[in-house]
Structure 1
Amino acid sequence: GGSSEGSTLGITEATVMETPDPEADTNLMLRIGIKKQSKTVIDHTKVKIQVFFYDTVDDKDIKLTDADVTYEWLTPNHDWAGTNPEILAVTYLRPKNKVLSPEAALSAAAASVNPGKKGRASKPGPSAESGQRKYLGYIVRVYYHDQLQAVRAEPSKLLKLYPPSPTASP
């Protein structure tokens, strides 16, 4: 244990801000501060940051999001040359009417036909296309030289469901 001891990089902040957006169901920005813990010179090409957003589907299943996720550094260099944290902004955007590909629409339609229940297949409700997804939370993992440095998750139960691997997979 004690992985936070002696780690090279730490997460100083992880803040979610929701942006009111009439065009989107959900528009969030996760702001992540990553700071070096020691005087080490950081080889920034060896830093790997993984961000996962999770949704609840129909208020029961937890799945990796299918929203659009984009990354943007807010600090100019992000090389950890100084002692200040480098700030990464990750945007989670779910457009209002997510257009389903024909395959997805087809499989969703097939899934809504339930042979075991009578009279269900007549008119699928609005949530039939792949379940009603709601933003649940995120997991942030920071690796350096493929070793896990820091993890932050909200809600923390996501860490129990998806424990981080100690080394970064390619």
Structure 2
Amino acid sequence: MSSLNTVATLYAIPYGFGAAVSTRVSNELGAGNPQGACVAVFAMMFLAVAETTIVSATLFACRRVFGYTFNNEKEVVDYVTAMAPLVCLTVIMDSIQGVLSGVARGCGWQHIGAYVNVGAFYLCGIPIAAILAFWVQLRGKGLWIGIQAGAFVQAIMMAIITRSTNWDKQVKFLSLLPLEAFYLL
């Protein structure tokens, strides 16, 4: 529970980055400025990488004492210490996928994001989690590793989609849509 609370709290930062890049990308594309949209993506990815480096390094460096913020029992503190590397990995994956999901929202690619989520988590993450948790007997760690495998696949797929985007064509496509279509995006 302590690891989940930590991840949920730390996700607020990349969630804000995702909202900011979504707004910025959609504004730039709507204004017919593909270079501005591209710069917004790179700037936000830079901020996300810097933030996740600082947060995960700090969390990893404090892993032996971090458990005491939740409980004084040695068993709980040891479990939090053992889970800290996975929590750091979660912070990294959440930050990257949070920004890339924001880019998808800003471009109006919600349907693509949904397909990526289904593929990454239901076809990859959950089966790996079930195998590691129940067949390999890693239990909670196995579940966490499997979900992180799904998050990794999601981040890679969204990065490929974002990287292969032709921003000029994206602006042209959006300029062809009638105004009513934007209410559907």
TM-score, reference length from structure 2: 0.27
Higher Rg: 1
* Higher normalized strand content (fraction of residues): 1
* Higher normalized helix content (fraction of residues): 2
TM-score, reference length from structure 1: 0.28
